[in-house]
Structure 1
C-alpha cells in the first residue's frame, strides 16, 4: 500500500532515479500511475524539491492537455510519491521514429494543443523549461490525437527564475532557446515558445534545426541562426510555414510570438489551404509525401524516452535517417520523465 487509498499492482520501471508503478485507486476503482524517488535521491533536498515542484506545478494547471496530478506526499516510510493519471498511447518522439515526418495538419494539432497547455502555465507565471518530443504524450480522444504535456519537474515560476537560479543549464539542449543555453536565469515564457518551434520543426522535417556535438558548439550554431526552411526538406510545406518557423526561432525573444495562443493561431493560418502556394488539397488526411505508413499500437506508457541521435535531442552524432522503433514496452528513470504513461517504444 502506498496510502490507504492506493494499492500497488505492478511495476513498470525501476531505475537509478526511482520506480514507477501501476496502482489501484481503491475509492474510485480506477488505475493510476505512481512515481517514487529512489531512497538515495530522497535524501537529497534538491531532488525532493524538484519532485515536489513537479506535482505542485502540474496540479495548478487546469488544462486538459496537462497530465493530471491526483495526489502527492510521503508514504508511511517517508518516501516521496506522485500519483497521476495513467495514459495510453505514445510520446511524440516515438511517433516520429515510427512514421518519420508527420502530416502538416497533425503537426498543427499537436502544436495547438501543446500551446493551450503552455498558455495556462504561462498565465500562472510557470515556465516549463523542457518542452521536447518526449514530454508531449499523444493519446487519442474520439479518434483524434490528444496531447498531454508531461514533466513539470524543472518548471519554475518566472519570478523565481529571475531571483533564485544560479545560472545552471537545465533542460534538453537541442530544444533549448538561445538564452536558456547560456543561463537558466531571466527565462520567461518565450523560452518555451522557442522549444515548441524546435519540436514543430522536428515533427515536420524529421530532424532538428540546429545540431552540434557539445553544448558550447550548439550555442554557437544556434546563435548563427541558420537553418534549412521546412520547404527545403519537404515539398508540401508552404512558404507561409517557412515564415512561421523563422519567427518561432528568432534569437531575440521579443521578436518571437507574443504568446502560445498567437503562435498556434499563426501556424493554423500558415497551413490554411487558402494561404498555401500549391499545397495539396488532400493533405489533411494523407501521410507526408514519400513516407511509408505504419500501424500504431495502443499500449500503456509511463515515462521519458531518451534517444541516441540528433533527432532524439541527445547530442551524440550527426543526423541518421529515422529508424523504425520496436514496439516493446520500456521506460526510463522517473525523475527525468513523467509518471503518467506507459509508452509503446523507448530507445535507451
Structure 2
C-alpha cells in the first residue's frame, strides 16, 4: 500500500502514521464526506488476526465511551486484508509522553489516571476485558478548540468477553505485555475476569507517578520478578506522594486477585477527591519564595543550634513578607522617637571652636561640634563624586542632624559654609565709613572757602580830599 491508494472503495490513503508488529496505521480521507480518519490495516492477516480485528471493532462500538477510541467502519481490501476505520487522533501516546518527559506531575497525571479508570469501568460494564492495558495503548488526544487533553484507550484487539474461557496464544507463547500482565494472565489462566485489568491499571499508575515500572527486567527475568519478587510501594519511590493514592496503587498490585480492589469504578470513586485537591492546589511553584523575592527557609536540625549542613532536612520555605517573627541574627527593628546614642570615634585634634559660634556654622547647631572632614583617601575610594550644588545660605534649612548616627554623621553631613561677619563688626565699619565721608566733606568745604577768598581783586585807592601841593 502507498499514499493515494483507495481501499474499500471509499477511503483514500494520505500518509502513514505508524507501524506495528501486526499492521500499519494510515491517515485517510473518506471520498464522499471528506472526513479524515485513521485506518488500521492488517497485512498478510491470519485467521487469528482477522478475529482480533473484528473483536476490536465490536468491542469499541459496544462500549461507546468518550475515553475509548471510536470505531467507524470495518472492511477488507481488494487483497482481502482486513482494515479498521477509527477516529483520527491528534497528540501522542502516554508511552511517548513519559519517555520524553519522565514522571508526570500529580496535577496532570491524576486526571489521566482517573480517565483511564473511567474507560475500564465502561468496558467492564459491557462485559469486556481489555487484557492489554499499557501506556502504549493510551492516547492523549487534543481536540480542536477544546482545552486540555482527552484520554483515549486504544487497541481492544486482545479483549475477551466475560464468561468466555479463552487463552489467546501465538505459536511459541502468550500474547500480551509481560511488564503489565497479571500473574494469572502470565500463568495462562483461562478464566480471566476484570481484576486482571485492575493489576495492569495499578502497574500503569505506578509508572505514571514514579517514572519507572514496579518490576524491572526483560524476558524470563521479568516474568520471574512479576511472579515472585517483593512488590514495591509507591511511597517508597516517591516520598511525599498522597497517602490515598499510594493505597489505591498498592490495592491494585496484589498477586492474590481476591485481595485486589474489586472494580475500576471503585478506583475512580477514590481518585476523584484526590484529583480535585490536586487541581484546586494548582501546579507546584517553580521556585521558593515570592517570584524571586527574599524568603526564609526553615531547616529541621534535631539537637543542633549551628548553621545547617548537607545532612539537614529543609522543612519549608516562607516568603520574607509573610514571616511571622524576627529573623534569626537580624538586628532589632527601628523604632520611632529619638535615635539611640552610638559610640563614635574620637575626632582628630582640632582647635576648640569659640563658645559663641556665629549663626549658620555647625558649631552653633544644637550645641554639637563640627564633623571631621573626609580624608582624600576616603573620598577617592568612593570614586568620582558629582559636584553638589550649594543653595544660598539664608534660604537653606538646617540639616537633620538627629537622623544621622555613627559614621554616617561624618560622611553624609555637607561641609560648613564660610562664616559671615558678626553684626557688631558691620556697625563699626559703617560708623567709620560715615565719619570718613563727613571728614572728606568738611575738608572739601574748607578748601573751597579758602580758594574763594584768595581769588577776589584789590579795591582802588580812595581819592584824596586835599588838593595836590603846588
TM class by smaller structure: 0.7 to 0.9
* SS, match of residue 24 in structure 1: strand
CA contact (8 A) 2:60 2:69 kept: yes
- Match for residue 37 of structure 2 among 13, 32, 36: 32
Q: Confirm or deny: 8 A CA contact 1:169 1:184 kept in the other structure.
A: no
SS at match of 1:121: helix
**In 2, are the aligned partners of 1:103 and 1:287 still within 8 Å (CA)?**
no
Q: Residue 262 of structure 2: which of 248, 258, 263 is its match? A: 258
Measure the CA separation in 2 of the matches of 1:15 and 1:93.
14
| Secondary structure of 2:207 counterpart | helix
1:330-341 aligned at under 5 Å gives the runs none
For structure 2, list consecutive stretches of 5 or more residues without a partner in the other structure: 1-5, 288-470
Could you list the per-position Cα deviations for residues 172-219 of structure 1 after superposition, in whole angstroms to 9, with x for gaps in the alignment? 01111111111151111111111011000001001111123334x334
Which structure has the larger Rg? Answer: 2
Query: Structure 2 residue aligned with 1:2, among 2, 7, 15?
Result: 7
SS of equivalent to 2:142 = strand
Q: Which residue of 192, 200, 204 corresponds with 1:195?
A: 200
Partner of 1:238: 242
CA gap of 1:59–1:288, structure 2 versus 1, over 3 A, is farther
| Paired position in structure 1 for 2:179 | 174
Report the secondary structure of 2:90's partner residue: strand
**Following TM superposition, by how much is the alpha carbon of 1:224 offset from its aligned partner in structure 2, in angstroms?**
3.5
C-alpha change, 1:184 and 1:151, in structure 2 (3 Å) is farther
- Deviation track 1:142-172 (CA, whole Å, cap 9, x = no partner) reads 3222110011111111222x25667963210
Deviation at 1:236, TM superposition (A): 3.3
Q: Report how far residue 59 of structure 1 moved.
A: 1.7
For the structure 1 residues 281 and 150, does the alpha-carbon distance in structure 2 shift closer, same or farther, using more than 3 Å as the test? closer
- Output one character per residue of 1:78-107: Cα deviation in whole Å (capped at 9) or x when no partner: 221111111010111111112211111322
Alignment-derived partner of residue 87 in structure 2: 85
Q: Specify whether residues 208 and 103 from structure 1 end up closer, same or farther in structure 2 by C-alpha distance, changes over 3 A only.
A: same
Choose which of 94, 112, 115 in structure 2 pairs with 1:113.
115
1:285 corresponds in structure 2 to 283
Distance 1:181 1:163, change over 3 A: closer
Cα distance in 2 for partners of 1:285, 1:10 equals 38
Q: Equivalences for 1:259-274 in 2 at 5 Å?
A: 259-269=263-273, 273=277
* Mapped partners of 2:21, 2:79: distance in 1: 19
Q: Once the two structures are superposed, what CA deviation does each residue of 1:255-284 show, in whole Å capped at 9, x if it has no partner? A: 2122111012223345664xxxxxx99863
For 1:52, the equivalent position in structure 2 comes to 54
**Deviation of the 1:138 alpha carbon:** 0.5
Contact 1:139 1:145 in 2 (8 A): yes
Secondary structure of the residue aligned to 2:132 is coil
Judge conservation of contact 1:71–1:82 (CA < 8 Å) in 2. Answer: yes
Instruction: Answer yes or no: is 1:144 the counterpart of 2:153.
Output: no
State the shift of 1:13 in Å.
4.2
**TM-score normalized by the length of structure 2:** 0.55
| Aligned with 1:131 (options 122, 130, 133) | 133
Instruction: State the alpha-carbon separation in 2 of the partners of residues 108 and 35 from structure 1.
Output: 30
Between 1 and 2, higher relative CO (CA 8 Å, sep ≥ 6) is seen in: 1
Q: How much has 1:17 moved relative to structure 2?
A: 3.2
Distance in 2 (alpha carbons) for counterparts of 1:62 and 1:281 = 27
| Aligned positions of 1:306-325 closer than 5 A | none
Please tell me whether the aligned partners of residues 23 and 42 of structure 2 are also in contact (alpha carbons under 8 angstroms).
Answer: yes
Contact 1:72 1:83 (C-alpha < 8 Å) held by counterparts:
yes
Measured in 2, the distance between the counterparts of 1:15 and 1:249 equals 29
Give 1:18 deviation, angstroms. 3.2
1:101 aligns with 2:103: yes
Whether the 8 Å CA contact 2:203–2:214 is kept in 1: the answer is yes
Per the TM alignment, residue 19 of structure 1 is displaced from its structure 2 partner at its CA by: 2.7
Structure 1, 226-235 or 174-183: larger mean CA deviation: 226-235
The Cα shift of 1:288 comes to 9.9
Of the three residues 214, 223, 248, the one matched with 2:219 is 214
1:229 has 2:233 as partner? yes
Q: Secondary structure at the match of 1:174?
A: coil
CA 16–91 in structure 1, closer or farther in 2 if over 3 Å, else same: closer
Matched positions, count: 279
> Which structure 1 segments of 5+ residues have no match?
274-279, 290-348
